[in-house]
Amino acid sequence: MATYLSPGVYTRETDFSFYVKQISTSSCAMVGVAERGPINKPVLVTSWEQFINKFGSYVQAGYLAYAARAFFDNGGSVLYVNRIAHLADPTDRNSLTAVKSSVTLKDRRAVAAMLETGAAGTDRITWTARAAGSAGNGISIALAASGTDTPLSVEVSGQAITVNLATDGAGDPVSTADQVAAAVNADAAASSLVQASTTDGGVVQPAAAANLTGGQDAQDTLRVFAVNEGVWGDRLEVEVEDGSLDPASGFNLIVRYKGEVVEVFKDLSMDEAAKNHVELAINERSEFIAVEDLRPASALPEDRPATGRAALSGGDDGLTGLDDADYTGDPSQHTGFYAFDEIDALNMLMAPGVTTAAVIHAGIAYAENRKDLIFLADVPIHLEPLEAVDFRKGQGMYSHAAFNSSYAALYYPWLEINDPVTGKRKLVPPTGAVAGCFARNDRKAHVWYAPAGIDRGRIFNALSVGYKTSRGERDVLYPEGVNVIASFPDSGINIWGQKTLQSQPSALDRVNVRRLMMYIEEAIAESSRFVVFEPNNPQTWRALLRLINPFLQDIKDNGGLYDFAVQCDEETNTPAVIDRNELVARVFVKPTKTAEFIELNFVLTATGADFKEIFKTT
Q: In this predicted model, what pLDDT tens digit does every residue of 394-446 receive, in sequence order?
A: 999 999 999 999 999 999 999 999 999 999 999 999 999 999 999 999 999 99
Do 131 and 230 sit in the same domain of this protein? no
Of 44, 47, 43, residue with least CA distance to 73: 47
Final residue before a domain boundary, out of 481, 512, 543: 512
Contacts of 593 (CB under 8 A, 6+ apart): 507, 510, 513
Do 416 and 299 sit in the same domain of this protein? no
CA dist 107 and 89 (Å) reads 38
244-256 per-position pLDDT tens digit: 998 998 999 999 9
Pairing of strands 482-488, 492-495: antiparallel
Establish if 11 belongs to a structural domain: no
Instruction: State residue 385 phi and psi, 5-degree precision.
Output: -55, -45
Do 189 and 244 sit in the same domain of this protein? no
Of 397, 440, 328, 436, residue with least CA distance to 91: 328
Do 295 and 423 sit in the same domain of this protein? no
Q: How many residues does the chain have?
A: 618
Do 232 and 378 sit in the same domain of this protein? no
Q: Are the C-beta atoms of residues 439 and 456 closer than 8 Å to each other?
A: no
What's at 159, amino acid-wise? Q
Do 471 and 378 sit in the same domain of this protein? yes
Pairing of strands 79-83, 28-32: parallel
Establish if 82 belongs to a structural domain: yes
What's at 239, amino acid-wise? E
Final residue before a domain boundary, out of 150, 176, 211: 211
Establish if 88 belongs to a structural domain: yes
Do 88 and 183 sit in the same domain of this protein? no
The total number of structural domains in the chain stands at 4
Do 255 and 232 sit in the same domain of this protein? yes
Of 121, 142, 141, residue with least CA distance to 129: 141
Provide the residue range defining the domain that includes 591: 531-618
CA dist 416 and 66 (Å) reads 11
273-290 per-position pLDDT tens digit: 899 999 999 999 999 999
Q: Alpha carbon of 264 to those of 233, 253, 267, 581: distances in Å?
A: 17, 6, 10, 62
Instruction: State residue 494 phi and psi, 5-degree precision.
Output: -135, 145
178-207 per-position pLDDT tens digit: 999 999 999 999 999 999 999 998 999 999
Give the pLDDT score at 532: 94
Q: Alpha carbon of 48 to those of 77, 82, 83, 229, 456: distances in Å?
A: 9, 15, 16, 21, 21
Number of Cβ within a 10 Å radius of residue 538: 12
Q: Are the C-beta atoms of residues 117 and 73 closer than 8 Å to each other?
A: no
Final residue before a domain boundary, out of 284, 311, 338: 311
CATH number of the CATH domain containing 297: 2.60.40.4290
Establish if 131 belongs to a structural domain: yes
Do 168 and 296 sit in the same domain of this protein? no
Q: Are the C-beta atoms of residues 345 and 338 closer than 8 Å to each other?
A: no
Establish if 543 belongs to a structural domain: yes
Do 325 and 459 sit in the same domain of this protein? yes
pTM over 0.85: yes
Do 332 and 464 sit in the same domain of this protein? yes
Give the pLDDT score at 297: 61
Establish if 392 belongs to a structural domain: yes
Give the pLDDT score at 272: 87
**Weakly modelled stretches of the chain, pLDDT under 70:** 1-2, 296-299, 617-618
Angle at alpha carbon of residue 521, lines to 520 and 523, rounded to 5°:
65
Do 349 and 463 sit in the same domain of this protein? yes
